[in-house]
Structure 1
Amino acid sequence: MSIKTFEFKKLISSPIIWTLLLLFMVFNVFIILQHSSMSEDMKRIQPIIEKYGTLMDEENREAMKQDYEIELAEWNKLIARHGEEPFEKASNIYSSERFSMEDSNLFTMEELESIKQLAELESYLVSAEEIDQEYNEMDMGKVGEGQIKMFGLTGMAADKVLRDYKVLSERVVELVENKEHLHLFFSGKEYATHSILFQELFLPISFQLTILTVLITAFIVNFEFEQQTALIMYAAKRGRKLIWDKLIVALGMTFLTFILLMTVTLGIYFWVFDYSGLWNVPISSGFLTENNNVPFISWGKIKFGQFLAIASSLLLILQILFCLLGFCLSVWIKNTYMAFTVFAIIFGVGLMLPNMMPRDGMVIFYTHYTPFILLMGLKKTFMARSPFTMTPYFEVVTLILWFSCLCFLAWLCIRQFKHQNI
């Protein structure tokens, strides 16, 4: 058996790693089940997509209106037979104070579901018209000015934000021309599925993976020192070259825990919530806009399925960066829990540092180019989000910069390890 296999066995025989992984999975399932009650309501979008597709442009909306009005007229005829006056909207029928649709014996369960389905169609029709108007009137220049006032920016910082929002304005024009904003998706204001998936679920997963990655790396690097076998292992024929095997095994285990945690969590999520027909919907759809009325605007035309893959890939790359950082700390400190503590301090400082910077220069923007900021913003990967990260290449530049630096730092640590006293 190879040395890497022996090192890998040390990791998979550690009960704390598997215990944490199991606890994290249970916690994630609990988060999903908290929102599972709305899964049945969300399924009502599927018949609409099957019949009309996802594009809610004027032509498609007109066809939907005609069908809606015909079905509403049929419902009003049925209601008239029971001595009730006609309704102007489907949503008013089952919410009427005259009678409770849920408790009424006048309608069958199939009829109740039919009127709910019609009300859902009505809701998306109204939303589509509002979205079309809002995006055509959207002024990102004013939004930029509002961000400058909100964060108290002046001088070069304010000028940069205005330039960035001008670029964003051009993207909004392109988005409207492509009708990306009019593609049907789960109503953000009603279900907030984007925040549930990419914030309430992805953010805990991000922290869970980071904890596992750093603990795994520190554990395998410091195993001989903590078991007091370092003098024997590093005096052997292969000696100090063992550190390379440990780094490779730590990276491999990081990948394995990522696959296990993501597969189980996302598998259960998409089993509970039906996304059929929505994988090719642009992530910049206006229907995703939630109660804060802040639209999701990607820098390019990215479909939902692509966005999920990009966010997942970014999370994996970030774990590789954290593995390299944890490796460097472990080589220096030679104690698993001390290395983890130092990593946590660096992580916290990385998040707080931008808030300490002056608001009139460029330094405040540079301090955002860290993997810690990236990890906290997976919800808006490759999107316009904070005025401090308002560039299409923010994620790419950050990853390239940190990957280069950490690879060089890891190489220096390995060189130093070869010559230091054990």
Structure 2
Amino acid sequence: MYITWLEMKKALLSPVILILLLLMLALNLFLIISNSHHKEELKIVNDIVETYGLAFDDEVLATMEGDLLKSAQQLGGTDTAAFLEAMTYEKYEQANVSDQKQIDEISLKFTYLQVAKGLEARYEAIDLSKEKEAFLQQYAMPGWLEKKMVAEFNDWESRYDEIVAKNEYKKWFFLSNYRMHSELFRTHMKTLAVEGVLLVVLLTAFITNYEFEHRTQLVIYPTKKGRKLLLNKGLASLLASFIVLTVLFGGTLATYFTVYDYSTVWQASISSGFNWEYQLPYITWWDLSVGQYFVLALGILLVVLIIVVLLTYAIAVFVKNSYYTWIIGVLLLMAMFIVPAYFSNSVILWLSSFNISMLLMNPHEYFDGGRMFMETQYHEVWTLVIWLSIASIAVCWAIHYFNRKDVM
């Protein structure tokens, strides 16, 4: 274990890796803080949940409407909607600070109330059968694949019916106007995934090829420890990557949740009607809370990055150069993400959807059904299983190759 620690220190104390890590942390903190101008408005959700509970129904909305009317009447209004409509900039500026705060609160809560009252009608207007027809018309699929995708769509429609029947969508969350799901998962988690790839590929290549780049391989590998040192390098790459990723992810996400208060919405459904950002709401395959979705998304990204470490380790054994290994590893992941877009064959598109680059670049779409091959049920699980198997085989092959070849 001491040898493994010495191998880890080579990377963890490397100026290049330390500077990159600090720059990435600084960039992430800058992005979070520079886009936090609406953080105070988001806190109104905490007040709503603490007052009326996490879920809402007609009774809760009626109570909320009555409370807002009383607040409007205290400020001289007779009707909440009319009061807000008549609130001009001049009137607002003439009010004292306390009244301005109350006006802002009434306005925000009234917006949430109106959205909540309209959600049922919006959900009733959704017709997933049209999405299925559009998908089947878009791709010319062989019979077996078409049958499979039709079954997936039917299951997705059943899941949608379940969401409506159980009122899963009637949970408070941040207004979709703020796009907080995309803010966290599409912006920051995806950024962390890309940064993590750049770091772990460089770190793994550095550890694995250290002797070859410092021309000490003829001294180190013929020793008693010999070529078994490669196993220590593999373990050191995994442990060092975990430490670096913990600092990168931990620092970034700690700052994010310090700026944005999620304390009352962790138990809200990720399929909440308030989390409806685009044409369709998030219709996830399972009833997941925001907290559960976050933990699972974080876990998926970490497993993918472990796979990247294993693949990089295998490449490094053959290439024996850190910079070439880094270039090959990054280009391979980029190709896995870009190249499938140039295929029109439906079978190739379906097979190519099971790649780790798709998981790295789309953490906001995990467990969500939809009109893409990667949005099928258990897609994330199958992708991880397939690529863990591929990475494991690649590592075994690389070790076997290294033990049989000279170290020149």
TM-score by length of 1: 0.92
Deviation at 1:155, TM superposition (A): 3.4
* Structure 2 residue identity aligned to 1:32: I
- Alignment partners' CA distance in 2, 1:339 and 1:280: 43
Question: Quick one: distance in 1 between partners of 2:43 and 2:406?
Answer: 64
Q: Deviations over 1:177-220 (max 9, x none)?
A: 1211110000012x111111111111111110000010010000
C-alpha deviation, 1:43, in angstroms: 1.1
* In 1: Cα distance, 2:83 partner to 2:129 partner: 39
Aligned residue in 1 for 2:208: 221
Aligned residue number for residue 112 of structure 1: 100
What CA distance in whole angstroms lies between the structure 2 residues aligned with 1:300 and 1:79?
45
Look up the match of 2:169. Answer: 181
Counterpart of 1:37 in 2: which secondary structure? coil
Cα separation, partners in 2 of 1:319 and 1:155, compared to 1, 3 Å: closer
Shift of residue 93, structure 1, vs aligned partner: 4.2
Residue 300 (1) aligns with residue 286 (2): yes
1:79 is displaced (CA, Å) by 5.5
1:269 counterpart = 2:262: no
Instruction: Please tell me whether residue 88 in structure 1 is matched to residue 81 in structure 2.
Output: yes
The match for 1:384 among 369, 372, 380 is: 369
CA offset at residue 164 of structure 1?
Answer: 2.4
* Equivalent position amino acid for 2:221 in 1: Y
CA separation of 1:15/1:90 partners in 2, compared to 1, >3 Å: closer, same or farther?
farther
Residue 2, structure 1, aligned to residue 2, structure 2? yes
Match of 1:332 among 305, 311, 318: 318
The residue number in structure 2 matching 1:83 is none
Shift of 1:3: 1.0
Further displaced range: 14-23 or 384-393: 384-393
Query: Does residue 322 of structure 1 match 2:331?
Result: no
Residue by residue over 1:15-43, the C-alpha shift from the partner in whole angstroms, topping out at 9 and shown as x without a partner, is: 01110000000000011012211111111
Matched pairs, number:
405
Cα shift readout 1:377-397 (whole Å, capped 9, x = no counterpart):
111211224521232200001
Give the TM-score of the pair, scaled to structure 2.
0.95
For residues 81 and 116 of structure 2, the distance between their equivalents in structure 1, rounded to whole angstroms, comes to 19
Which of the residues 292, 298, 312 maps onto 1:312?
A: 298
Measure, in 2, the Cα distance between the counterparts of 1:419 and 1:93: 83
Measured after TM superposition, the shift of residue 173 of structure 1 is: 0.5
Which of 132, 153, 160 is residue 172 of structure 1 equivalent to? 160
Q: Is the 8 A contact 2:69 2:80 kept in 1?
A: no
CA contact (8 A) 1:221 1:330 kept: yes
The question of whether the paired residues in 2 share the 8 Å contact of 1:91 and 1:119 is answered with yes
| 1:72 Cα deviation from its structure 2 partner | 2.5
Structure 2 equivalent of residue 42 of structure 1: 42
Shift of 1:69: 2.4
Give the root-mean-square deviation of aligned CA atoms.
1.8
2:230 matches 1:237: no
Note if 1:133 corresponds to 2:121. Answer: yes
* CA distance, structure 2, for counterparts of residue 92 and residue 113 of structure 1: 17
Q: 1:87 to 1:238 in 2, by over 3 A?
A: closer
Quick one: distance in 1 between partners of 2:46 and 2:86?
22
Would the aligned equivalents of 1:140 and 1:166 in 2 still touch at CA under 8 Å? Answer: no
- The whole-number CA distance in structure 1 between the counterparts of 2:26 and 2:36 is 15
Cα offset for 1:163?
3.4
Q: Which runs of 5+ in 2 are unaligned?
A: none
Identify which range, 349-358 or 249-258, moves more after superposition: 349-358
Q: CA deviation at 1:135?
A: 1.4
**What CA distance in whole angstroms lies between the structure 1 residues aligned with 2:36 and 2:51?**
26
Change in CA separation of 1:385 and 1:218 when aligned onto 2, cut-off 3 Å: farther
Deviates more, 1:241-250 or 1:132-141: 132-141
Q: Contact conserved, 2:316 with 2:322, CA < 8 A, in 1? A: yes
Alignment partner for residue 418 of structure 1, among 385, 403, 407? 403
* Aligned residue in 2 for 1:60: 60
Q: 2:164 is aligned with what amino acid?
A: V
Q: CA distance change for structure 1 residues 262 and 168 in 2, over 3 Å: closer, same or farther?
A: same
Q: CA deviation at 1:130?
A: 1.8
Q: 1:83-137: per-residue Cα shift (whole Å, max 9, x none)? A: xxx763454243x36x341x22xx2211111111111121111111222111123
